[in-house]
Amino acid sequence: MIYSPAVFPFTPIGYLGEGTMKRYFYVGIAVILALAVALVVYGTWLNVSDEKQIARRMDERVLTLTGARVKKRYLRPLVEMDAARLYSENMADALALIEGRIVEMYVAKNSIVHKGDVLMRLENDQIPLQIQQANATVRRIEAALAQASNTYHRQERLMAKEATSKEKYEEAEAQYTAAQEALAEAEAQRAQYFVQEGRQNVISPVDGNVLLIYHREGSYVQGGTPLALVGDFDRLLFSVTLEDKNTRHFSVGERMTLRFQAQSMKKAYDTEYAAGNLGRSEKIVATIKEITPPLSEPAGMRRVVCEIDNRARVLEPLTYNGVSMQAGRDHECLAVPLSAMTDASRSEVFVVEADGKIQRRDVETGANDGKYIEIHSGLVEGDTVVTESFEGLDNDMRVEISVEEESTEKQQKGGER
């Protein structure tokens, strides 16, 4: 049978030529590559478009934050101390000046004593014997001196009459002189024993209270052994080294208020409170006694020595943890809330610029009162600073600030209405 092209317009594949097959293959490959390239281009366009949209949205996003105005405020500088070591200048041990046994106690713990009061008495068995022997020696030498004196004066009279030799006179004179010296030595030795006898009394070295008694009646102690601790806690001292910025508003004679953590108000010596005190609620006042170097001299660090009025007997010479000290008078200065500081060194803040964007800014700070901090440079009055939620903040972010003081004033006005 003969097939006609008019009847069968399509040529079977098997009848296609080799060249035709290659053309179809290359065309297919080109179509696939074109589709792949189109997909890549379309994906890239989508990514770029999304990034632009995200960037536009981030740029248009406005964060709502709390802030505060930079303005002048009255501050009372506050110093936070990790620990303060209190000490007394009138605190000393009563010592045993000789060895002996404690035979009598005249005081008890917390007894009020004065310098020179007898606290207890020791007994040394050797001292009475030594005094007795010294008395016997003095009497014997006094007798020898009396005999030497008679002999010397007799030789002196005979010498005047030329009735004795010069050798006998000089011998009598030498014996008389030696007897005088021997008596003086014996009396000095006896006086020393009397001093030892007096040292059997243990006396208070200072005015104050008997804080501790180390040894009880019947104990045998060596010379130099501490027997009791006596101290006057009416005035206690402490010192603290501070940066100049924290001391420049202090002055010698200024009264400061101290605050102690409740758990640190311990009593190691178990002293009694004074009558009329408020215990841990007592207001503790300290007075600045010394600032070294003086404020008139430039210095980066200064040592401040304070004296505490402790007549209520609330404190003792101990190391107290977590102590704060606040000035008794305030001063006017440019200040911002402490919460505006973004770093531990208190040297950076976020400032809201006129266009509503924030910028990180370096500042120089001074003293603080626990709520506000003094600004020496980096900010001017009227600036607005962020006071919360610093995490994730960066330069040029757009923000909407709710100023703390303005919000408070509006609430108060609204309540009055």
**CA–CA dist 16, 58 (Å, integer):** 61
pLDDT average, residue stretch 222-228 = 95
Burial of 247 (0-12, 13-18, 19+ CB in 10 A): buried
Query: Please, which pLDDT band fits residue 54 given cuts at 50, 70 and 90?
Result: low
Q: What is the overall mean pLDDT for the chain?
A: 85
CATH among 3.30.56.10, 1.10.357.140, 2.40.50.100, 1.10.3810.10 for 94-120+205-230: 2.40.50.100
Domain 63-75+332-416, CATH class in plain words: mainly beta
pLDDT of 16 higher than 80: no
Please tell me the pTM assigned to this model.
Answer: 0.65
Give 404 or 332, the one with higher predicted confidence: 332
pLDDT average, residue stretch 38-57 = 66
Give 266 or 205, the one with higher predicted confidence: 205
- Among 35-39, 61-65, 206-210, the range with the most confident prediction by mean pLDDT is 206-210
| Out of 12-26, 171-185, 186-200, 291-305, least confident range | 12-26
Say which amino acid occupies 390. F
**CA–CA dist 366, 376 (Å, integer):** 7
pLDDT of residue 105: 95
pLDDT of 13 higher than 70: no
Per CATH, the number for 78-90+231-330 is 2.40.30.170
Instruction: Answer for the pair 243, 311: CB distance below 8 angstroms, yes or no.
Output: no
Tokens of 210: 């008997």
pLDDT average, residue stretch 95-121 = 95
Tokens of 331: 């001063």
pLDDT of 5 higher than 50: no
Which residues does 144 contact at the CB level (< 8 Å), separation at least 6? Answer: 179, 182
Instruction: Answer for the pair 80, 97: CB distance below 8 angstroms, yes or no.
Output: no
| Out of 42-51, 110-119, 219-228, 262-271, least confident range | 42-51
Domain locations in the chain as residue ranges: 63-75+332-416, 78-90+231-330, 94-120+205-230, 125-199
| Out of 86-100, 200-214, 263-277, 306-320, least confident range | 263-277
Per CATH, the number for 125-199 is 1.10.287
Instruction: Answer for the pair 217, 105: CB distance below 8 angstroms, yes or no.
Output: yes
**CA–CA dist 256, 369 (Å, integer):** 13
pLDDT of 407 higher than 50: no
pLDDT average, residue stretch 31-49 = 75
pLDDT average, residue stretch 66-75 = 94
pLDDT of 124 higher than 60: yes
**CA–CA dist 189, 270 (Å, integer):** 45
CB atoms within 10 A of CB 214: 14
pLDDT of 409 higher than 90: no
The torsion angles phi and psi of 162, rounded to 5 degrees, stand at: 55, 40
pLDDT of residue 8: 43
Q: Is the fold of 94-120+205-230 the same as that of 125-199?
A: no
